[in-house]
């Protein structure tokens, strides 16, 4: 299984979902690793994926490009006066894909985040030619963000493998009625497959 995870926004739980999936695959005997091509700000996301993969590959392979500025890659590169090495990213992916049974790729931010002036996360997914799963924070507003993202993925000519709904607030928080209805409405309106619905604090995930 090779999969590209994108999100409807930043901080929707892409790393959390990717790490759960890598661990679940490895628990079933699948040689799975995670790839976070770009990190902006801290490198914690890459470290989480590195740990999920049992340290099977070096951290610099999990995350080949690290920008320290906490901004979109295009902005972070300008702040640091750096040029993002797209060739290194693509070479790392190709090498990992050839060496491992499954590569779970986590994008940066949302689907249309700019990596360079004229190259976006959507272009990176197209370069990798992987099915795309959309990680969604299951809350009010999720329907609009999810449907727009799915529409854009399909318009790019890529396969949208489905949606991963992630509950980002604890169960004892104020009721969010949207969170209880989003799944059914998404399935009805888009016909998209809900790959998983992750509960707050969930520690295990069955591979899909």
DSSP 51-77: HHTTT-S-HHHH-SEEE-SSS-HHHHH
DSSP secondary structure string for all residues of 128-155: HT--EEEEEE-STTHHHHHHHHHHHHHH
Nearest alpha carbon to residue 37 among 70, 4, 82: 4
Residues annotated as part of the active site: 36
Distance separating alpha carbons of residues 65 and 173, to the nearest angstrom: 37
Helix (H) or strand (E) holding 15: helix 14-27
Q: Are strands 119-120 and 114-116 parallel, antiparallel or unpaired?
A: antiparallel
């Amino acid at each position: 299984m090779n999969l590209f995870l994108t999100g409807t926004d930043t901080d929707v739980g892409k790393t959390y979902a990717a790490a759960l999936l890598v661990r679940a695959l490895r628990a079933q005997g699948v040689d799975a690793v995670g790839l976070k091509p770009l990190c902006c700000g801290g490198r914690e996301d890459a470290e989480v994926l590195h740990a999920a993969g049992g340290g099977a590959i070096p951290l610099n392979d999990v995350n080949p490009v690290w920008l320290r500025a906490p901004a979109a890659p295009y902005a972070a590169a300008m702040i640091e006066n750096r040029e993002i090495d797209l060739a290194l990213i693509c070479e790392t992916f190709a090498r990992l894909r050839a060496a491992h049974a499954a590569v779970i790729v986590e994008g940066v931010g949302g689907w249309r985040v700019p990596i360079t002036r004229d190259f976006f996360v959507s272009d990176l997914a197209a370069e990798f030619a992987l099915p795309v799963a959309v990680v969604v924070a299951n809350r009010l507003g999720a329907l609009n963000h999810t449907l727009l993202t799915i529409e854009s993925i399909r318009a790019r000519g890529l396969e949208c493998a489905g949606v991963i709904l992630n509950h980002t607030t604890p169960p004892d928080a104020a009721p969010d009625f949207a969170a209880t209805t989003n799944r059914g409405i998404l399935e009805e309106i888009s016909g998209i497959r809900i790959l998983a619905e992750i509960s707050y604090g969930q520690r295990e995930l069955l591979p899909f």
